[in-house]
Structure 1
Amino acid sequence: MKIKTILLFLFTINFSINNAQVGINTTNPKGVLDITSANSAVVLPRLADPVSVVTPVAGMILYDSTNKAIRYFDGSTWNTLIYSTQLTKPNEGVVKINAGGSSGGVKPSWNNTPANTTRQVTYSSPLVYASSPTTSWPENSTVSDIKIYNGGRFLENEVLGQVHQWRVIVNYTKSSNILSQDIRFILRNPSSGFRLEVSGVIPSGKTSGILVYNFTSIADQASLPSPFGTGNGYILEWVASDDITTLNIDSVTRISNHKD
């Protein structure tokens, strides 16, 4: 009975083995496996979380039913082969820090800062992030997976060679002054000596306002911590050419550009 069932199955799907090639619905397979159909498709294993695969091997492929994406295993990580338009790619992401600490969050701020006095931008934990779409997590990520700030250092995404854009928005007030002045923000890596300075010029007579600063960095072994490199991230500082009455950090945004 079992033999008849197997023969009937093979006859029904027009199964063909030719020189180690397998054909389904074709007697002339063009590859190791050749599936032919005019009105149907292959259905991949559907898993809510690829991590549930017990012993993954490089080359495995499946359908991620949670994120509605085709995923493949490269030997160490599950990556996205085909992704939904609603998702970012695996190493992309925009993360905006609104504040630090609990109970609504606290923005870094300073009062009565003398001219030419350097201040470091630090946040208390946990960080308070902006909601979507200003913050868009990479797929299959949670808040705890995002590494952007730790111990006073700002961190890049852990992808060597990836380009990151940083945007810092600040609010300030100062005493009336007929002269223009500048507030410089500095992004630097004390381990490698990397240093970027951007000046924001306050027009003559202006006593309050908003300044926006933009930086670009490339993740390398001197900036990424172990196991990717020997770095420890960046320090963000500011210094003004004249006395500043108040200054607070409205937000810090990191954009991780897609890298294949």
Structure 2
Amino acid sequence: MNLELVSKSDYIICLGSMISKDSPKMNDLIIEAIAKNSAEFIYMHPVDDIDVKLYCTQFVKYEVGSEEGILALLLEYFTKDRSDELEEYLSDLDIGYISAESSAGEEEFDEMVEKLLNKTTKTIILGEDLFTHERVANISAMIKAFKEFSDFNIISLSDFILNANDELEDVAELKSYNGTVIYKYASNEDEFVYGSESFSKVAKVSNKDLISLNYGKQSIQRVFKLDKNLQGTIALCGVKADDESFLSQGYRYKQVKIEKVEE
């Protein structure tokens, strides 16, 4: 991973990573690039991270699970000198529908393109959300196409090895993530669940409550902490490296049922 590329970039997209939690070092390099290079920093994620929103130049919030659709939009807006195969693939997609389903407006991508003016060193940072997604095979093929037909440097925060087919598949229908959703991040310091006031109301829990997270037939207990810097109904949960619960498996977002544990 060529971290030096980030500090030298003047246009940076971060997709699929809550960068302040996932990679504080990378986060610092982005801030350095903004300060030194007047870099545009576009942060794309379903979680409103107040800390990152203080310094990003554009925040694109998309629906949980729609990473595949976001990559299709990036292919549409940022690739050039495309192959006939890629051109045909994109022409067959309903970009307006994908944009609406992902809740990432076409006007937001227009704004991203406008920010490219006079930018010379472009980098996209790809996070773990992409590589734990059930559609990772097609996501990998999309990343391969983006690398080939754009002038972006690509940096992955994941150890996942891209072994993609050349053939791109249609974007799958977006699954619903209604109700209370947990987003897990690596942490050796704590295993709390941090949620906003909105999350607290929906889950019917209060600050410092012991809660049960129920996912299918599995259940784990955590202490809930109210975080006024968070918004929406996605809560954050620190997960240790040796965790073997459902939180450590598969996609980083889990739709869970939450119950207060009576002590």
Q: TM-score range by the shorter chain?
A: under 0.3
Determine which structure has the larger helix proportion and give its number.
2
Structure number, greater radius of gyration: 1
Looking at secondary structure, tell me which structure has more strand per residue.
1
Using the size of structure 2 for normalisation, the TM-score is 0.25
**TM-score, with length taken from structure 1:** 0.26
